[in-house]
Amino acid sequence: QVQLVESGGGLVQPGGSLRLSCAASGSIFSIYAMDWYRQPPGKQRELVARSTSDGSTNYADSVKGRFTISRDNAKNTVWLQMNSLKPEDTAVYYCYMRVKESFWGSPDDYWGQGTQVTVSS
């Protein structure tokens, strides 16, 4: 089994910055995608940023140029640096990883517990 633990959320003023982190532990052979999603109040969960195992990254249009996703495969960790935060960035942020637990197994999907980010003056 694999566990994802997130940290770094909180309350920040508009224009401020936060850095989220998500560390995976447990039985891990390899990790494919490492993503960040968010769910604003009353809305559906949406993809914010993706980091694939080949090193490519993708971002939602709403966060391009402000957010940066990065990963450390040796530490099974992914970060989301969020700059120039806006009130509309307020949401619960979730990390997601697609993990292969053994050489012979198929990859499974794992989610973090979620961390609240509130952007308000």
Average pLDDT over residues 77-95: 98
Q: Which pLDDT score is estimated for 4?
A: 97
Q: What is the pLDDT of residue 55?
A: 87
**From CA 49, how far away is CA 60, in angstroms rounded?**
6
pLDDT of amino acid 56 = 95
Above 90 in pLDDT, residue 8?
yes
The percent of residues above 70 in pLDDT, for the chain, comes to: 100
> What's the rounded Cα separation, in Å, for the pair 72 and 84?
24
pLDDT at 40 over 90: yes
- For the record, the structure tokens of 21 come out as 């982190």
Looking at residues 66-87, what average pLDDT do you find? 97
- For 52-82, b/e burial (b = at least 16 CB within 10 A) is eeeeeeebeeebeeebbbebeeeebbbbbbb
Residue range 17-37: average pLDDT?
96
| Nearest one of 37, 32, 58, 55 to 47, comparing CA atoms | 37
| 9, pLDDT greater than 90 | yes
